[in-house]
Chains A and B, each alone.
Chain A
Amino acid sequence: MSFREVLNGVQVEINTILRLEQITKSFGETLVLKGIDLSVYRGEFITLLGPSGCGKTTTLRIIAGLEIPDSGKVILEGRDVTFDEPNTRSVNTVFQNYALFPHMSVEANIGYSLRLKRVDKATIKNKVDEVLELVQLSGYSKRMPHELSGGQKQRVAIARAVINQPKVLLLDEPLGALDLQLRREMQTELKRFQTHLGITFIYITHDQEEALNMSDRIAVMNEGAFVQIGTPAEVYDRPQTAFTARFVGSANIIEGKLLSQDKDTVTFSCGDGIGIANLHSTPLTPGQSIAVAVRREHLHLLKTAPENAHGFDAIVKEKSFSGGILQILLSYGEGKELIASRHGLDSNLSPGDHVFVTWDPEHAVPVDLENPA
Chain B
Amino acid sequence: MKNRTKLPNVYLGIIIAIMYLPILIVIIYSFNTSRISSIWGGFSLKWYVELFRDQSILEALKNSIVLATLSSLAAAFIGTIAAVGFTRVKLRSSGFVEYLSTLPIMIPEIILGVVFLIYFSLLGLPFGMTTLIIAHTAFCIPYVFMLVKARLAGMDKNLAEAARDLGASGPRAFLDITFPLILPAIASGMLLAFAMSFDDVVISIFVTGVNTNTLPIKIYTQLKTGVTPKINALCTLMFFVTVMLGLLFVFITNITNKRTTTKESSQ
Binding site for B on A (CB under 8 A): 64-66, 85-87, 91-93, 95-103, 112-113, 116-117, 145-146, 150, 153, 160-161, 164, 177
Give the contacting residue for B172; candidates A91, A92, A116, A177; CB below 8 A: A116
- Chain B residue with the shortest CB-CB distance to A148: B266
Contact B180 A103 (CB under 8 A): yes
Contact B259 A95 (CB under 8 A): no
- Chain A residue with the shortest CB-CB distance to B265: A146
Contact A101 B266 (CB under 8 A): no
Contact A177 B166 (CB under 8 A): no
Within the assembled complex, what's the spacing in Å between the Cα atoms of A101 and B155? 11
Give the contacting residue for A100; candidates B168, B176, B180, B266; CB below 8 A: B266
Q: For chain B, what secondary structure do more than half of its interface residues adopt (helix, strand, loop), or is it mixed? A: helix
In the complex, what residues of A have CB within 8 A of residue B164's CB?
65-66, 85-87
Q: Given contacts A102-B259, A103-B181, A146-B262, is CB(A97)–CB(B165) below 8 Å? A: no
Q: Which 6 A-B pairs have the closest CB atoms?
A: A146-B262, A99-B158, A99-B162, A113-B166, A116-B167, A86-B164
Contact A101 B163 (CB under 8 A): yes
Contact B159 A99 (CB under 8 A): yes
Binding site for A on B (CB under 8 A): 156, 158-159, 161-170, 172, 176-177, 180-181, 259, 262-263, 265-267
Chain B nearest CB: distance from A303 CB in Å? 52
Contact A66 B161 (CB under 8 A): yes
Q: Given contacts A113-B167, A146-B265, is CB(A101)–CB(B159) below 8 Å? A: yes
Within the assembled complex, what's the spacing in Å between the Cα atoms of A86 and B166? 8
Contact A95 B262 (CB under 8 A): no
In the complex, what residues of B have CB within 8 A of residue A161's CB?
165-166
- Chain B residue with the shortest CB-CB distance to A90: B167
Chain B nearest CB: distance from A17 CB in Å? 18
Within the assembled complex, what's the spacing in Å between the Cα atoms of A266 and B196? 83
Chain B nearest CB: distance from A323 CB in Å? 27
- Chain B residue with the shortest CB-CB distance to A113: B166
In the complex, what residues of A have CB within 8 A of residue B180's CB?
103
Contact A146 B266 (CB under 8 A): yes
In the complex, what residues of A have CB within 8 A of residue B166's CB?
87, 92, 112-113, 116, 160-161, 164
- Chain A residue with the shortest CB-CB distance to B260: A102
In the complex, what residues of B have CB within 8 A of residue A64's CB?
165
Within the assembled complex, what's the spacing in Å between the Cα atoms of A92 and B176? 18
Give the contacting residue for A87; candidates B156, B165, B263; CB below 8 A: B165
Chain A nearest CB: distance from B262 CB in Å? 4
Contact A116 B267 (CB under 8 A): no
Q: Given contacts A66-B161, A86-B161, is CB(A98)–CB(B168) below 8 Å? A: no
In the complex, what residues of B have CB within 8 A of residue A150's CB?
266
Within the assembled complex, what's the spacing in Å between the Cα atoms of A95 and B164? 13
Contact B167 A164 (CB under 8 A): yes
In the complex, what residues of A have CB within 8 A of residue B167's CB?
87, 113, 116-117, 164
Contact A86 B262 (CB under 8 A): no
